[in-house]
Amino acid sequence: MANPLVQLNTQGQSPWYDNIDRSQLDSGEFQRMLNEDGILGVTANPTIFEKSISAGHAYDEQMSQLISDGKSTNEIYEAVIIQDIRTVADLLRPIYERTDGADGYVSLEVSPELANDTEGTVSEAKRFWKMVERPNLMIKIPATPAGIPAIYEVLRSGINVNVTLIFSLQAYRQVVDSYQRALQDLHSRGEDLSRIASVASFFVSRVDTLVDKRLEDMSKATNDTSEQQKLKSLEGKAAIANARLVYQDFKKLFATSAFESLKQAGAH
């Protein structure tokens, strides 16, 4: 039976693995996934790393040494994740080279504590970029009011960005504007746009989680059976409808003459 993830590749889709675990890296399981399961990218966040670190003993030796060296909690955390991110980036590098930078990325998220701090986000993104030193790294930045200008600044610095926590059409449009303005700045400086990559990670399921709860509350607040049935029929549909609207925006925003000029200069 054909692997559905591999089949996705044939449809122009790029499955990303939302997890990093050193035990998978050490055992060869992650390499197997790249070879057999069609995985073309990886993303992670502090929660994922917390689960990986606490679930087994793969990190014990490194952490014990760092503790003995007198490192702070944050220094230990960063040393651990940077090592994993570098390892994953190197394993993904053949994909990155084979696809000429279209795939083969690993994402590293800035601290959630910086969600409302534009300057702090930009500073940490640049610091992580220098620490990892891999061209197939993406820095994850949330599409918060403070994150939007940070996305622009980081991209125009030549750093790849994975924009996360996008829930609405308005936020998506702001993200696209930041991306395209950053590319225009880079192009005006004569930079190679083909080496700059960015993805907009639009959240789907969490929209339904919120909307369905509201629909449930509205249903409980009425005794009208017909109204209850109508509300029930709407459950599980808001997120997909929202995603469809965003996709229509995507097609329009990347079909302009301005972006076509950027594409001619190598933009993705």
Q: Which residues are catalytic?
A: 140
Pair 37, 8: CB distance under 8 Å: no
Per residue, the 3-state secondary structure of 122-139, as one string, reads HHHHHHHHHHHCCCCEEE
Q: Residue 184: which of 101, 258, 268 has the closest Cα?
A: 258
Task: Determine the Cα–Cα distance for residues 78 and 48; give it in Å rounded to an integer.
Answer: 14
Residue 249: count other Cβ atoms within 10 Å of its Cβ.
14
- For 180, half-sphere exposure in the C-beta direction (CA atoms, 13 angstrom radius) is 18
Instruction: Return the amino acid letter for 111.
Output: S
Cβ neighbours around 173 below 10 Å, total: 14
Residue whose structure tokens are 């965003």: 246
In the chain the first and final C-alpha atoms are separated, in Å, by 34
Residue 166, C-beta contacts closer than 8 angstroms, at least 6 positions apart: 143, 172, 175, 200, 201, 202, 203
